[in-house]
Structure formats: C-alpha cells, structure tokens
C-alpha cells in the first residue's frame, strides 16, 4: 500500500514538474515605464522584446519560451522594492534584470538577495550594487568608477594629451560624485593640478556663473560630469557661451552620449568628447549587425541602454540553458545562480565573465563582469554623430585634439 | 573683476525672468489671498506652448507669446469660474490643498501626454552670444529680458491707468472697502486669476529658449517662485520684481563665491530669514 | 464607551489575524505599506488636521527619523526596536527649533516656511557627507539575529515587519484618539478655528503648536525609522523629497482631516489606487492622486472617514 501511494505521488510529481517545464520561463524586469524616467524604460522594453523574440523564434531555451515581465517602478525606490517583491513572490519569476536607476537597483538587489533570486544588473552603475557582497547579484555593465578609464588611458597614451591643468564639474548625485571622484583621483595620480573642483545640484538652471569661475582658472582641459541630459546640454552650452577654450571638453555620463546632445547644441557639440560605458565594439561585425537589425526594427540607433538590455537577455538565456531546471522554484533559482557564476561568453556588448575583484576606487566587487575595465571608451561628436575614437582598437574615426582654435 | 561683472549680469538677466514668474503669483495672492501651488505648472504649459509652436508651426518662440498669453488668460478665467470659485470660500488651507492637487494633476497629465523627455528649443540666432565689454550675453536671454520688461511695464500701465486695473489694486489693498465702493469683486477675482495665469504662461514662453522643458519642471520653478514673492512681500508687484532680481543675483554670485551645491540653500535661508523677520518682505511693500 | 472599544478590539484582532492566517508575502507587503502610510498620514493629521497647520515639509522629519535609525544601527549596532523610537525622538527634537521658528507665521506663510525647511534638510542630507554619506546613502545588508519566545526571528519573512508596522500604526492611532479627547486637542481645535480668539482666551498657542509638532514629528520620525529597516536603503532623494511630503498630505486629506480613523482609510485608498492604476492603466498614479484630492476638497471637505461618520446616524460622537 505504502509503495503504491509513493509511486502514485512520484508519478504526480513527475507530471507536475513536466507541466511546469512546458511553461515559459519568466524573467522579471522592473523599469520606469511612467514618470520622469519613462523614456529609458521604453528603450529597455524595446531591447528586451527584440532579444526575446529572437530567442523564442530560435526554439527558446531548451524548448521553453522566454517571457519577460516588465513592471513599472516610476523611478521610485520604494516602488522598485514593491514590484521586485511582487515579481518574485507573485509572478514567481526565476530571475530578475533591469532597474535603470541606481537607487532603484539597490532596492531590487536587496530584495533579490533576501528572497534568493538571481538578479542580473544591466545598466545601473553605482559601485555599491556589486560591492556589498550580494552573491545573488551580477552585473554585466561597467561600474561608475570605471567610466573614466578610457579617459585615463587616453591622457596617458595619446601623445601630448596629458593636461597641464584640469577643471572638474560634476553633479552631486551618486553618479556624479562617483565619477567626479574617480576622475579627480586619476588626475591626481598623474600629477595633473585640478584647478577647479565644482559640484552642482542636478537640474541646475544656469551654469554661467560656475563657468565664469572655471574660466578664471584657465584650465587646460574641462571635464564635465552630468547624470541628466539637460545638465549635459546646459553645461556645454554655457561653457562655450562664457568663452571657455580648453584643449578639450570631455563629458562623462549618459547625457553626453545621446542624440539630443547634438541636436540641441548644433555646432556647439562638435569635437566634445564623451567618456563612458561603451555600447559594444562598433568594429565587431556582430555588434554592427545588431545595430543595423535594431535600427531596421525600431528606426532608432541603439546606444548604451539598448545594447545592455539586449545583451542581458542573452546572458540570462545562456545561463538558463546550462542550468538544470526541475520546476522547484528555490532549487531552480540556485541552479541559475550557479550557472551565471560559470558564464563565459560574448554578447553584442562584449565579453562577459563574472568574478570578484577590486575596482579602481578600492571597492571589493562581487560578481562584477571582469572585462568591465576594458568596456569604457572615449567617443567624439562629429557632424552630429558620436564616434568612438579611443582606445585605438575600437576607434571608428580619427580624433581631433586639441580642439582647433577658432578665428 | 570680470568674473564678478559677468556673474552679476547673468544674475540680473535670469533674475528678471524669475521676477516674471513671481509677479503672476503675487498678483493673484494680492487680490484673492490664495497661494496658487499650480503656478509652476502654468509656467510649464507656457514653455511647452513655445516648444510646440516652433515644432509644429515653425513659429519663433518669442512671437508665440502673442498666442499663448491671451490663451492662458482665458484658460485662467475659466479655471477660476469652473473650479476655484467654489473652493475659495472654504478657507485658505482648503484652497492651498486644492491647488496642490491641481498641480499634481496638470504635471502628471503632461507627463502622460508628452512623456518625461526633456526638450530644448534651439534658435538659429541663439548659439553665439554677443559680448559687449567682454561680458558674454546669450541672445535668447537678452531678448527675454527685454520682453519681460515690456510686459511688466504694460502690466503696470494696466494696473494704474485703467478702471479694471485700479479695481484690482483697490481689492488687493482692501477687499471690504472695495465691495462697499461698488467693485464687482467676483469679476475682479476672475480677471486677476486670468492675468496671473497669462503672466505665468508668458514667463514660460520667455524662459523656454534659455532653459529646457519637461513636464515636472514646475516643481523646480514654484519653489523659486515662493522665495521671490516672499522676499519681495506677498502681494506686491514691485516687490516681486526686486525679489526676482535679488534671487537671480544671489544665486549667481553664490555659485561663484560659495560652493555650487549649497547655492540653492542660500536662497532658502534668505527666504526663511525674511519670512521670520520681515514677513512683509524686504522692501516692506507687501502686507 | 463600548462603541469606541468594539472597533478598536476588532481592529487589533484583524491585525493579529492577518500575519497568522495569510501566507501570501506580497499581500503582507501591501498591508505593511498601508500601515506605514497610516503612521505617516496620522503624523501629518495631528498637526494639519487638528491644529490646522498645513505642513509641506514633513518629509524632513521622516528623513531625520530614517537617518537617525539607520546610522545608529550601522555605526552603533543599535537594534531596530531601540532605533525606531530614537529616530522618532530625534525628529521630535529637531522639530522644536523648526516649530519655534515657523510658528511665528500663520496659514500659507507657515506652509511655505515648512517647504523651505524641508528643502534645507534635503540639501544638508546631500552635502553633509561625513554623517549622511551624501548621495551614496546607507544600505543595510543584514539584520541582527534575534530570538523571541525561543524562536529565531526570520528577518527575510514579512511577519516581524508586519508586527512592527502594526504596533506603530496602533500607537499613531491611539495618540490621535488621545489627542482628540485631551485638553491639548481642544486647544488645537480652538486654534484651527480662530487663532486670535484662542489667544484671547488665554491659550498659549505657540506652545500648543510646538508640542503638537513634536508629537507629529515623533510619529513621522518613527515612520522614517521603520522605512529604513524595511526598505534597508536610505538616500536623500528617497526620504527627503517633496513628493513624500505631498503623499502624507494626500492621505490625511482624503481620509479625513482631524479624524482618528481618517489616515487609515486614506492609506488603504492611496495604496489601493496606486496598485490598481499601475497594474491596469500603465500611467502615473499621481494623476489620480491630484484628481481625488481636488474632488475630495470640492465635494467632501471632511474626507472619506468624515463623510462616513456623518452619514452614520448617532455616531457623530464616536469614530
């Protein structure tokens, strides 16, 4: 009798688990779909959708389709924690990605760590996310303190690029302070005198006074950090209006890399550098093909965000393929975490392998992409287009330096 | 010295635009004793008006003020008639909370309609500044400055030379006596609210080319606006002008001579100090 | 008396029953949010509803509580059940000078002053890096192991947080209930209705208002402390933003100004609206907040709870 019961139970167990296996694999992705950051949420949605459609069309993951559940967090920390909680406990997603803002990503990471669900960070850059020892949190993209690495490489290795003096202007957000701090540290290590060190509140209406002050110090290069596109645009506009003529303007942060920057500034954008996380190596045929494909589908050229979002889904699909899924939620999440730890692949964003190492500002990273330091590039605005110029291996065009003096 | 002169000039120019925003709020307060928390959203609507005029009709943003100011005037009167009139007798706190709700509603509807994208207006003549005496002055800001002065003078003429204008000022000074004098307070209130809204819209149009716009920009502006009207004395038009320019200059000099992140703090500290020690405003013109 | 005791007992019974009977952790999470917002709405209501002093800066007090609690825990290892009341106490202390300054102003002037105070507090949080960690903020990664009645408290689960939030909400509502029947409460109503008259009959209005603000700050600060432990991450934008102040106002107004049960109703309503709107319409719930706030002030200035109470015959003295 007991044998019979147990065999019946076993059969039921098999039935249950096979039916669970036939269902799509759910990936949760909190993103700002409404509110001030909504344009970014939309970028990720497009990228995720494209990756999902491709993977599913090619037979899915071991025969199972992928399903990506995007939940709106409106760029609010509290809501990010709430929707992460909902995705994990209600929707029972196997793995999480997304986040967009660093504050929201920290909340999501904290929830995922607590509920033992793997979380692949695809864009948020705060060092803290992977430096708190969260073993359930992985990050493909470079951290904030890595953003200026290409710039550091440029001034060291490009003949005559080492500045005599530098002005650093950064916003007082987490992003701005991290990068401003990293830039100043790099400059000091190379004995460059920092003649102006100016922090400003985000969404400043008028940079003319700040720029007047900067101009008085007569810096050799001007380094601008802005998390907000509006600040990036006004910083550049007001710097040029005030008549600053350094050898180079170098921008750090998303705002210096978006199409708006050129369209709003027109000729003022010409020759401004942008040192940031890259959008993949444009000389890599696979990455190039992705740009074309994305453009054909959505009629916009993908940048940082789209490339990161698209790659994240491929990284997850790869891990899901290697993980032995049983239908038991806890065991499966653990299996995926193990699989992510063994990730070693190349996406359109670049190579990825997660490891524990120390960042440029001394942060002890956990599960941070070990190839991150090489995934920062310097690009330059030319005729309304942002083209990679440094390091040479990833360059799309020759760089203009120093900035030609007008009239 | 050049640094000082430069920051003083840009402070005055920006301050004049701040003053424009403040005047609208202060006029409404003077007559109706209400603080319109949705004032910043009205400025925002003006900014978007300028933006869409250029985008859709290829209209110069500064010219579009001829469309938007009258339109906002009518919108303001309607808003008063249909929504506010019933609320105001409920007391100033109810009105304050009501306009807070209105502000949330307008900003978030705009967010829904236009997304959170930040937009800027680029003008062909706005790129290179002119430099009298070596001081850089951005063209759009200079144009806005001149227009702001024109609008303010016109407003002043209206308030001092026309019957309706005098009625507004009388109500502002003494509502009870105005009723006794046979002034139709209801009508005065409606016109005043329209006027305040139109001024906010006009300020938005003027600001737009020098700034960027996004649906929640009002939040940023309204706080500055409070500082301005309190500095100048709530209800006082000359006070708002002085307060606006003062704030512009203080912010501008502060950014140069004090750390940039504390810049906004100076405004608030000044604001609190004035509220506490000179509630009638720095110039004693308001009440 | 029984009329008042019965709903209170019923409420406590529901609070005890929820975590015992419901295993759905997301549902519990929503309940915790409701309780947290009840505390915050009640905090605002004490000052705004009873004393008629509209504050647009309560986020500042919330922030003081949140920072105090999280700093005491991370730097001093002080457990949550000490940290949260201390956070409330810190907020109350900070509120005294704020009150002494701002209460020299009345009506809209007071509201504007609180707005400025909140902005200054946010700037301080952003710039005083040695204490607040600036924009980086503080993150709690682990909570202390605790045994209660011989059982290990599971910080990864919801029940301990539910219990904490429930206690805070009960404290907040009891405080409000006490206030309404106290002499101070009567003073406050007098101040709300006519401040000059209140002064004329010998009420020390400034003192009454400062004490009330401290009470309100204590509750808001404990709410902040709870937030720090539950969400585990505190940064200036999250805890000191003007949006947070506005949500507190919204709860109190929609629920019913100057009522005891109002904030609870407001919090349920707010959380439900936010969840529904997010789920169904994919648009910002703030559109609806704004609309509801206008509708409520226009058509039921006494709030939902106030309206319900008025419609229940003979219940005018209860609730």
Shared domain check, A208 and A235? yes
Name the more confident of C136 and A105: A105
Task: Confirm if B197 and B75 have CB atoms less than 8 A apart.
Answer: yes
C112-150 burial, b if ≥16 CB within 10 A, otherwise e? bbbbbbbbbbbbbbbbeeeebbbbbbbbbeebeeeeeee
Name the more confident of B77 and C290: B77
CA distance C139 to chain A (A): 8
Backbone angles phi, psi at C314, to 5 degrees: 75, 0
Which residue of C116, C251, C292 to mutate against B (max B Cβ within 10 Å)? C116
Q: What is the model's pLDDT at position A9? A: 55
The domain locations on chain B are 2-277
The domain locations on chain C are 2-240
CA distance C135 to chain A (A): 5
Q: What is the model's pLDDT at position A3? A: 56
The encoded tokens of residue A10 equal 């076993």
Quick: pLDDT tens for A25-62.
999 999 998 777 787 888 999 999 999 999 999 999 99
Shared domain check, A266 and A297? no
Quick: pLDDT tens for C243-261.
899 889 889 988 888 888 8
Which residue of C22, C23, C136 to mutate against A (max A Cβ within 10 Å)? C136
As a residue count, chain C comes to 319
pLDDT higher than 80, residue B282: no
Q: What is the model's pLDDT at position B154? A: 92
Q: What is the model's pLDDT at position A2? A: 56
Asked if B117's CB is within 8 angstroms of A39's CB, the reply is: yes
Shared domain check, A388 and A248? yes
| The residue to which tokens 């596109």 are assigned | A229
* Closest to C172 measured CA to CA, from C24, C28, C4, C41: C41
Mean pLDDT of the region C128-154 = 82
Asked if B255's CB is within 8 angstroms of A242's CB, the reply is: no
Across chain B, mean pLDDT equals 85
Which residue of A77, A171, A202, A362 to mutate against C (max C Cβ within 10 Å)? A77
Expressed as residue numbers, the domain containing A83 is: 2-117+283-348
Query: Rounded to whole angstroms, what are the CA distances from A385 to A229, A245, A266, A338, A380?
Result: 16, 22, 11, 41, 8
Quick: pLDDT tens for B15-70.
998 999 999 999 888 888 888 889 999 999 999 999 999 989 888 989 999 999 99
- Please tell me the pTM assigned to this model: 0.87
Mean pLDDT of the region B94-107 = 88
Asked if B7's CB is within 8 angstroms of A212's CB, the reply is: yes
Q: Using an 8 Å CB-CB cutoff, list chain C residues near A35.
A: 284
Contact status of B109 with chain A (Cβ, < 8 Å) = no
Q: Using an 8 Å CB-CB cutoff, list chain A residues near B117.
A: 39
pLDDT higher than 70, residue C47: yes
Asked if A198's CB is within 8 angstroms of B118's CB, the reply is: no
Name the more confident of C77 and C284: C77
- A307 inside domain: yes
Q: What is the model's pLDDT at position C315? A: 46
Q: How far apart are CA A320 and CA A332, in angstroms?
A: 9
User: Residue B152 belongs to what H/E stretch?
Assistant: helix B139-161
Q: What is the model's pLDDT at position A13? A: 52
pLDDT higher than 50, residue C318: no
**A72 strand-pairing partners:** A31
Q: What angle do CA A285, A58, A45 make, to 5 degrees?
A: 75
Shared domain check, A287 and A248? no
ipTM: 0.84
Across chain C, mean pLDDT equals 86
pLDDT higher than 90, residue C297: no
| The residue to which tokens 């008025």 are assigned | C310
What's the CATH number where A98 sits?
A: 3.40.50.2300
Crossing angle of helices B139-161 and B163-173, in 10° steps, is 90
Mean pLDDT of the region B143-152 = 92
* Closest to C224 measured CA to CA, from C59, C80, C94: C59
The encoded tokens of residue C88 equal 């409330």
The encoded tokens of residue A327 equal 């239908």
The encoded tokens of residue A373 equal 């330091």
User: Residue A240 belongs to what H/E stretch?
Assistant: helix A229-241
Q: How far apart are CA B29 and CA A265, in angstroms?
A: 39
Contact status of A203 with chain C (Cβ, < 8 Å) = no
Cβ neighbours of C267 (radius 10 Å): 27
Crossing angle of helices C159-181 and C205-231, in 10° steps, is 170
| The residue to which tokens 């401040």 are assigned | C195
Contact status of A49 with chain C (Cβ, < 8 Å) = no
Q: Would you state the torsion angle of the CA atoms of residues A193, A198, A199, A200, taken in this order, to the nearest 10 degrees?
A: -150
- A61 inside domain: yes
Distance in angstroms between the alpha carbons of the first and the last residue of chain B? 38
Q: How far apart are CA A104 and CA A31, in angstroms?
A: 9
Quick: pLDDT tens for C101-119.
888 888 778 888 898 889 8
- A128 inside domain: no
Shared domain check, A251 and A309? no
The encoded tokens of residue A354 equal 């997660």
- A79 inside domain: yes
Q: What is the model's pLDDT at position A147? A: 87
* Closest to B284 measured CA to CA, from B248, B241, B232: B232
A355-385 burial, b if ≥16 CB within 10 A, otherwise e? eeeebbeebebbbbbbbbbbbbbbbbbbeee
Quick: pLDDT tens for B179-235.
787 788 888 889 999 999 999 999 999 998 888 888 888 888 888 888 888 888 888
CA distance C142 to chain A (A): 9
**What is the bridge-based pairing of β-strands A376-382 and A354-358?**
unpaired
Q: How far apart are CA A367 and CA A141, in angstroms?
A: 11
Q: What is the model's pLDDT at position B287? A: 42
Shared domain check, A150 and A272? yes
Top-ranked range on mean pLDDT: pick from B141-150, B257-266, C64-73: C64-73
Shared domain check, A252 and A193? yes
Quick: pLDDT tens for C171-212.
999 999 999 889 898 888 888 888 888 888 888 888 999 999
Q: DSSP assignment, residue A143? A: P
Query: Rounded to whole angstroms, what are the CA distances from C127 to A171, A366, C78, C309?
Result: 12, 29, 25, 47
Residue C121's pLDDT band (cuts 50, 70, 90) = very high
Give yes or no for a cis peptide into A391 (omega within 30° of 0). yes
Domain count, chain A: 2
pLDDT string in tens for chain A (407-residue length): 555 555 555 555 555 555 555 789 999 999 998 777 787 888 999 999 999 999 999 999 999 999 999 998 988 899 999 999 999 999 999 999 999 988 899 999 999 999 999 999 999 988 999 999 999 999 999 998 888 888 999 999 988 889 999 999 998 888 888 889 889 999 999 999 999 998 888 777 788 888 888 988 999 999 999 988 888 988 998 898 888 889 999 999 877 877 778 877 888 889 999 988 788 887 888 998 999 999 999 988 888 889 999 999 999 999 999 999 998 999 999 999 999 999 999 999 999 999 999 988 888 999 999 999 888 889 899 888 888 898 888 888 888 888 777 54
pLDDT higher than 50, residue B285: no
- Domain B2-277 sits in CATH at 1.10.3470
Q: Would you state the torsion angle of the CA atoms of residues C151, C153, C159, C160, taken in this order, to the nearest 10 degrees?
A: 120
Q: Tell me the DSSP string of B222-263.
A: HHHHHHHHHHH-TT-HHHHHHHHHHHHHHHHHHHHHS-GGGH
Asked if B11's CB is within 8 angstroms of A260's CB, the reply is: no
Q: Using an 8 Å CB-CB cutoff, list chain C residues near A90.
A: 24, 26
């Amino acid at each position: 009798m007991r044998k019979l019961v147990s065999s019946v139970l076993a059969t039921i167990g098999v039935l249950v688990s096979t039916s669970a296996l036939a269902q799509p694999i759910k990936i949760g992705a909190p993103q700002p779909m409404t509110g001030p950051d909504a344009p970014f949420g939309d970028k990720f949605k497009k990228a995720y959708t494209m990756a999902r459609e491709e993977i599913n069309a090619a037979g899915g993951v071991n025969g199972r389709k992928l399903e990506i559940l995007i939940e709106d967090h409106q760029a609010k920390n509290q809501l990010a924690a709430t929707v992460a909680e909902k995705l994990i406990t209600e929707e029972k997603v196997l793995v999480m990605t997304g986040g967009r803002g660093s504050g929201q990503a920290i909340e999501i990471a904290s929830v995922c760590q607590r509920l033992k669900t793997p979380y692949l960070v695809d864009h948020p850059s705060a060092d803290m996310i992977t430096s708190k020892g969260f073993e359930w949190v992985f990050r493909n993209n470079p951290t904030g303190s890595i953003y200026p690495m290409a710039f550091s490489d440029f001034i060291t290795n490009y003949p005559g690029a080492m500045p005599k003096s530098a002005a650093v202007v950064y916003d007082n957000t987490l992003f701005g302070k991290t990068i401003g701090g990293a830039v100043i540290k790099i400059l000091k290590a190379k004995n460059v005198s920092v003649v102006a060190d100016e922090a400003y509140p985000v969404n400043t209406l008028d940079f003319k006074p700040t720029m007047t002050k900067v101009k008085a110090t007569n810096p050799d290069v001007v380094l601008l950090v802005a998390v907000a596109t509006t600040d990036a645009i006004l910083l550049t506009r007001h710097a040029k209006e005030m008549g600053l003529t350094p050898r180079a303007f170098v921008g750090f942060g998303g705002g210096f890399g978006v199409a708006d920057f050129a369209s709003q500034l027109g000729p003022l954008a010409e020759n401004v550098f942008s040192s940031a996380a890259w959008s993949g190596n444009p000389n890599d045929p696979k990455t190039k093909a992705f740009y074309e494909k994305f453009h054909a589908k959505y009629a916009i050229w993908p940048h940082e965000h789209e490339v990161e979002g698209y790659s994240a889904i491929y990284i997850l699909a790869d891990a899901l393929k290697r993980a032995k899924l049983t239908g038991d939620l806890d065991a499966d999440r653990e299996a995926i975490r193990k699989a992510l730890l063994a990730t070693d692949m190349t996406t359109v964003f670049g190579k990825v392998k997660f490891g524990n190492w120390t960042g440029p500002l001394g942060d002890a990273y956990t599960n941070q992409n070990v190839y991150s330091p090489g995934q920062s590039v310097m690009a330059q605005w030319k005729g309304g287009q942002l083209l990679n110029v440094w390091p040479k291996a990833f360059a799309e065009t020759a760089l203009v330096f120093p900035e030609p003096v007008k009239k | 010295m050049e640094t000082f002169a430069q920051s003083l000039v840009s402070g005055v120019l920006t301050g004049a635009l701040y003053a424009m925003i403040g005047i609208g709020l202060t006029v409404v307060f003077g007559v109706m004793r209400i603080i319109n928390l949705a004032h910043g959203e009205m400025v925002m609507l003006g900014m978007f008006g300028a933006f869409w005029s250029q985008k859709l009709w290829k209209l110069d943003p500064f010219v579009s003020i001829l469309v938007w100011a009258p339109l906002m005037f009518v919108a303001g009167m309607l808003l008063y008639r249909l929504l506010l009139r019933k609320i105001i007798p409920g007391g100033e706190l109810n009105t304050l909370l009501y306009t807070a709700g209105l502000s949330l509603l307008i900003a978030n509807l705009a967010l829904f309609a236009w997304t959170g994208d930040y937009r800027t207006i680029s003008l062909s003549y706005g790129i290179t500044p002119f430099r009298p005496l070596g001081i850089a002055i951005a063209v759009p800001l200079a144009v806005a400055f001149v227009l702001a002065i024109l609008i303010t003078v016109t407003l002043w003429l209206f308030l001092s030379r026309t019957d309706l204008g005098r009625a507004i000022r009388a109500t502002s000074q003494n509502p009870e006596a105005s009723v006794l004098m046979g002034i139709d307070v209801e009508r005065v209130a409606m016109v005043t609210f329209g006027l305040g809204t139109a001024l906010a819209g006009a300020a938005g149009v003027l600001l737009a080319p020098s700034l960027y716009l996004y649906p929640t920009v009002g939040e940023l502006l309204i706080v500055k606006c409070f500082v301005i009207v309190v500095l100048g004395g709530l209800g006082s038009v000359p006070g708002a002008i002085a307060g606006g320019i003062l704030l512009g200059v203080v912010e501008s000099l502060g950014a140069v001579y004090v750390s940039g992140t504390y810049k906004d703090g100076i405004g608030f500290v000044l604001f609190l100090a004035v509220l506490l020690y000179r509630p009638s405003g720095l110039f004693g013109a308001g009440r | 008396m029984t009329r008042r005791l019965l709903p209170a007992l019923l409420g406590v019974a529901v609070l005890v029953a929820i975590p015992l009977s419901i295993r759905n952790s997301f549902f519990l999470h929503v309940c915790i949010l409701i309780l947290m917002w009840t505390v915050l709405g009640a905090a605002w209501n004490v000052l705004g509803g009873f004393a008629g002093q509209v504050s647009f800066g309560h986020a500042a007090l919330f922030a003081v509580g949140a920072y105090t609690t999280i700093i005491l825990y991370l730097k001093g290892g002080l457990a949550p059940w000490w940290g949260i009341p201390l956070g409330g106490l810190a907020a109350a202390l900070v509120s005294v000078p704020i009150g002494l300054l701002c209460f020299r102003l009345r009506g809209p002037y007071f509201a504007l002053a609180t707005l400025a105070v909140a902005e200054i507090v946010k700037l301080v949080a952003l710039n005083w890096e040695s204490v607040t960690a600036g924009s980086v903020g503080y993150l709690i990664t682990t909570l202390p192991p605790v045994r209660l009645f011989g059982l290990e408290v599971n910080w990864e689960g919801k029940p301990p947080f539910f219990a904490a939030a429930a206690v805070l909400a009960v404290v907040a509502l009891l405080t409000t209930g006490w206030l309404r029947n106290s002499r101070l409460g009567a003073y406050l109503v007098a101040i709300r209705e006519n401040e000059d008259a209140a002064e004329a009959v010998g009420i020390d209005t400034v003192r009454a208002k400062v004490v009330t603000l401290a009470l309100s700050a204590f509750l808001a600060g404990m709410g902040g402390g709870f937030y720090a432990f539950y969400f585990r991450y505190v940064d200036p934008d999250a805890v000191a933003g003007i949006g947070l102040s506005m949500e507190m106002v919204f709860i109190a107004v929609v629920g019913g100004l100057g009522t005891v049960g109002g904030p609870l109703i407001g919090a349920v309503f707010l959380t439900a609206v936010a969840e529904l709107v997010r789920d169904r319409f994919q648009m910002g719930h703030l559109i609806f907040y704004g609309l509801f706030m206008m509708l409520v002030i226009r058509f039921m200035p006494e709030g939902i709870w106030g309206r319900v109470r008025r419609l229940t015959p003979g219940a005018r003295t209860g609730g």
